[in-house]
């Protein structure tokens, strides 16, 4: 079975995207604050936020989020044909437009 050029484009985009996300994580690791709560506490903005929110934010590490979501997006581009992903993005765009236009959907 011959691979189409769109499939090759998706594989290339997935590989480049994965490399960019991983490289960003490696170089971002040298910065002091990848944890959102620590960053808020260092700037003094944590006092204006509920202490329970700050405790929950301690679990969110920006480097980890980049690796998980960047890797997921990259692998999705490699695994599925590019045209199929483009169709999913178009449906997602329509969903967001309808959500912004219809106030009843905002409360879901």
Q: What is the pLDDT of residues 56-85, one digit of tens each?
A: 777 777 777 778 888 888 888 888 887 788
What pLDDT was estimated at residue 69? 85
d(CA 104, CA 108): 8
Distance, C-alpha 47 to centroid of its chain: 28
Lowest-confidence region among 33-37, 45-49, 71-75, 90-94: 33-37
CB atoms under 10 Å from CB of 18, counted, come to 19
Q: CB neighbours (10 Å) of residue 74?
A: 20
Q: What is the pLDDT of residue 84?
A: 82
């Amino acid at each position: 079975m011959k691979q189409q050029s769109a499939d090759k484009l998706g594989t290339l985009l997935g590989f480049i995207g994965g490399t960019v996300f991983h490289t960003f994580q490696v170089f971002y690791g040298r910065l002091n604050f990848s944890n959102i709560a620590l960053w808020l506490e260092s700037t003094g903005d944590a006092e204006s936020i509920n202490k329970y929110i700050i405790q929950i934010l301690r679990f969110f590490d920006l480097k980890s989020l980049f690796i998980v979501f960047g890797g997921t997006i990259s692998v999705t581009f490699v695994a599925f044909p590019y045209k199929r992903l483009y169709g999913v993005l178009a449906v997602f765009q329509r969903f967001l437009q309808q959500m912004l236009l219809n106030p009843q959907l905002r409360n879901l």
